[in-house]
């Protein structure tokens, strides 16, 4: 028995919206999808002919198989590269636009007459600036490529080869910046050497010759000279410590606690009103005069008379004449003082020459001294020495004196290569204030204190 047929509802299909809503087009979409799939992959196997599906191999197996390496290489060369195969369309869908408009090249868009005129000029050698530059650049590139050595070609010594400049720019009148700018604009480059490589950080030699008195078997004079230098440095240190002790510790007196408290009260009460000061202030108010006088009394605007103005003008003129006469008189007197002036100039020049020599000595001395590279000042190492009773005179019995690593480290600091620094044993950490919140207290903490 057939089921009851469902009666279709009649709906309006007037608009596109209602048409899409109430019309079932799944079969149409499925048909179009199948058709697109066939266009991409081709028709199904059921509708294809045997010639499209199968091929008859008429070549014998011995000939079809490549045996030698040369044949395999030739086959690979004849085969289409994979990079070209990727450019081919991977679908069987035909191009919807069969005839496409091709964009013409600039040469094809030119007028035939213009093209013929340009060709004639090119054959006669009448080229544009752009074309001439292109030909010149091409020739330079070919020349550079031909002069470039091959990978396995070593026929030049690059260390003895000197680069010749096309332009003579080595002159005392040119600065380094001028030479570099000129070479850069002519296609040549000159590298700038860093300033640190022009000169050494210090004139002090890397390894200084030690004092002859440090030897394991020194002469008597050298050993005594070394001990004298060490004693002199020690006396200077003792003198410096005594000076610091005198200007710091011994400068202040010892005061008892009671006297210190009295002096503090006296200093803190300085300037405060006392009974005697209040009485003096009261007596001073009584002695003051009751009459009130104006601080700035009014000044009348009294104008100068013509006579006063004339006299002032005459006085100014006379003062100027006296000044000019004084200058002329000094000129005349200076003529008779030429010998004394020459002596003064010579004395001044001699003094300046003496100061200049002194400055040169200080400058030469400062060259050998280390610079301030950090907040810590360089401290020269203490000289190594041995007393007379410790000298053995034999290299086997000699004991090692000094530390080689420390000596090299101090040498680097002295030559301004390393900055002097002090060894920090303990870092100063910020003091963190800790406290416990009242809400976190349990009530039994005080019992364990």
In-domain check, residue 57: yes
Give the integer Cα–Cα distance in Å for 139 and 35. 59
Q: Are residues 77 and 124 in the same domain?
A: no
In-domain check, residue 197: no
pLDDT in tens, 15-48: 999 888 888 888 989 998 988 888 777 778 888 8
Closest Cα partner for 37 from 91, 88, 110, 103? 91
Would you state the torsion angle of the CA atoms of residues 396, 401, 405, 411, taken in this order, to the nearest 10 degrees? -120
Asked if pLDDT for residue 140 goes beyond 90, the answer is yes
Out of 172-176, 223-227, 353-357, 358-362, least confident range: 172-176
In-domain check, residue 35: yes
pLDDT of residue 62: 62
In-domain check, residue 350: no
pLDDT in tens, 391-446: 888 888 888 888 999 999 999 999 998 999 988 878 788 888 888 888 888 777 67
Strands (E) located in 16-99: none
pLDDT of residue 394: 85
Out of 4-18, 235-249, 300-314, 345-359, least confident range: 4-18
What's the number of domains the chain is made of?
2
Asked if pLDDT for residue 1 goes beyond 50, the answer is no
> Considering the entire predicted model, what is its pTM?
0.41
* Cβ–Cβ under 8 Å, residues 183 and 169: yes
In-domain check, residue 134: yes
For the four alpha carbons of 142, 144, 147 and 153, in that order, the dihedral sign comes to: negative
Q: Are residues 33 and 71 in the same domain?
A: yes
Q: Are residues 115 and 81 in the same domain?
A: no
Give the tokens for residue 130. Answer: 């752009």
Give the integer Cα–Cα distance in Å for 156 and 76. 42
Q: Are residues 80 and 37 in the same domain?
A: yes
Asked if pLDDT for residue 318 goes beyond 90, the answer is yes
- The percentage of the chain sitting over the pLDDT mark of 70, rounded to a whole number, equals 87
pLDDT of residue 240: 94
In-domain check, residue 261: no
Give the integer Cα–Cα distance in Å for 401 and 214. 9
Q: Grade residue 448 by pLDDT with cuts at 50, 70 and 90.
A: low
Count CB neighbours of 386 within 10 A.
Answer: 19
Domain that holds residue 33: 28-85
* Cβ–Cβ under 8 Å, residues 166 and 188: yes
Closest Cα partner for 373 from 417, 411, 326, 419? 419
pLDDT in tens, 284-293: 665 555 566 6
In-domain check, residue 59: yes
SS3 205: coil
Q: Grade residue 163 by pLDDT with cuts at 50, 70 and 90.
A: low
Give phi and psi for 410, each to the nearest 5: -65, -35
In-domain check, residue 115: yes
pLDDT of residue 170: 67
pLDDT in tens, 202-252: 888 989 889 999 998 899 999 999 999 999 999 999 999 999 999 998 888
Give the integer Cα–Cα distance in Å for 119 and 134. 17
Mean predicted lDDT score pLDDT of the chain: 84
Number of separate helices (H) and strands (E) present in the chain = 16, 0
């Amino acid at each position: 028995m057939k089921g009851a047929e469902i009666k279709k509802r009649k709906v309006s299909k007037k608009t596109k919206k209602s048409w899409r809503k109430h019309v079932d087009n799944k079969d149409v979409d499925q048909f179009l999808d199948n058709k697109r799939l066939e266009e991409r992959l081709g028709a199904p196997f059921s509708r294809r002919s045997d010639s499209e599906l199968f091929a008859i191999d008429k070549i014998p197996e011995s000939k079809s198989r490549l045996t030698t390496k040369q044949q395999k290489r030739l086959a690979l060369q004849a085969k289409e590269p994979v990079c070209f195969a990727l450019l081919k369309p991977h679908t069987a869908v035909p191009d919807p636009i069969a005839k496409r408009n091709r964009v013409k090249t600039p040469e094809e868009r030119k007028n035939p007459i213009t093209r013929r005129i340009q060709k004639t000029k090119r054959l006669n050698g009448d080229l544009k600036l752009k074309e001439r530059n292109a030909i010149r650049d091409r020739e330079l590139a070919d020349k550079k490529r031909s002069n470039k050595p091959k990978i396995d070609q070593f026929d030049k010594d690059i260390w003895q080869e000197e680069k010749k400049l096309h332009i003579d720019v080595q002159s005392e009148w040119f600065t380094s910046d001028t030479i570099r700018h000129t070479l850069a604009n002519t296609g040549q480059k000159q590298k700038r050497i860093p300033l640190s490589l022009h000169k050494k950080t210090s004139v002090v030699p890397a390894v200084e010759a030690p004092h002859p008195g440090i030897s394991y078997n020194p002469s008597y004079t050298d050993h005594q000279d070394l001990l004298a230098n060490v004693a002199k440095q020690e006396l200077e240190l003792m003198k410096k410590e005594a000076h610091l002790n005198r200007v710091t510790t011994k400068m202040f007196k010892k005061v008892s606690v009671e006297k210190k408290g009295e002096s503090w009260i006296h200093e803190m009460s300085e300037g405060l009103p006392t009974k005697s000061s209040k009485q003096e202030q009261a007596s001073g108010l009584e002695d003051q005069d009751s009459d009130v006088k104006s601080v700035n009394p009014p000044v009348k605007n009294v104008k100068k008379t013509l006579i006063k103005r004339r006299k002032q003008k005459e006085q100014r003129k006379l003062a100027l004449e006296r000044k000019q006469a004084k200058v002329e008189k000094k000129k005349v007197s200076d003529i008779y003082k030429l010998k004394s002036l020459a002596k003064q100039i010579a004395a001044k020049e001699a003094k300046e020459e003496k100061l200049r020599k002194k400055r040169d000595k200080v400058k030469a001395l400062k060259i050998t001294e280390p610079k301030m590279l950090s907040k810590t000042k360089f401290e020269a190492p203490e000289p190594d020495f041995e007393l007379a009773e410790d000298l053995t005179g034999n290299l086997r019995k000699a004991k090692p004196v000094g530390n080689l690593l420390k000596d090299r480290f101090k040498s680097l600091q002295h030559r301004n290569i390393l900055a002097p620094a002090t060894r920090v044993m303990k870092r100063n950490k910020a003091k963190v204030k800790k406290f416990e919140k009242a809400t976190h207290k349990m009530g039994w903490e005080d019992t364990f204190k």
